[in-house]
Structures are given as C-alpha cells and as structure tokens.
Amino acid sequence: AEASFLTLSYIYIVKNGFRINFLSVIFKPLIAAIIMGIFIYFFSGLNLILLVICAAIIYVISILALREIDKHNFEMLRNIMRK
C-alpha cells in the first residue's frame, strides 16, 4: 500500500511541474546506513540493546559527517525538542 501511495504521489508531483532527484535524496542516508550495517555486522556479538544504541550513534555521526543535516534541520529539531 505504501509503495502504491508513493508511486501515485510521485506521478502527481511530476505532473504538476516539480522534480525530485531521488538519487540526491537517498544517496547520503544510504551511505550512512551502509556504514551502520558494517558496524552491526562486525559487532553482532554485542548485547542487543548496546548494539542498537551504538548503531544509532554511528548512523547519526555518519549523517553529520556526510553533511546531510543542515542548519535549517537543526533549528527544526530544536523547536521540536522545546515542545
């Protein structure tokens, strides 16, 4: 159902003159996910809770290192955290 919704939404957006470059939207998070996956693969013997926490930290560090999050995103996160 989600894939159908995504496809229909994309068709609607393209018909109305907007273009989404999926490669630029997906590339950096995919690289961060691959880095996190490599970490999980090599440290799979750790306690599950510790592994999940460390993997999340690795993912966030990767996203920050790849500069996927900009100043606007940080401000949005701050506003959400204040509420």
Q: Summarize pLDDT for 52-80 with one digit per residue, the tens.
A: 999 999 999 998 888 877 777 778 878 88
Within-domain flag for 6 = no
How many domains is the chain partitioned into structurally? 1
What tokens does 74 get? 């940080």
How far is the C-alpha of 64 from the C-alpha of 29, rounded, in Å? Answer: 10
Within-domain flag for 65 = yes
Within-domain flag for 12 = no
Put residue 17 in one of left, alpha, beta given phi > 0 → left and psi -120 to 50 → alpha.
Answer: left
- Rounded to two decimals, what is the model's pTM? 0.65
Instruction: Check residue 3 and give its pLDDT.
Output: 85
Within-domain flag for 17 = no
Own/partner contacts of 19-27, CB < 8 Å, gap of 24 or more, are none
What tokens does 39 get? 């970490």
State the residue range of the domain holding 29: 22-82
What tokens does 26 get? 């997906």
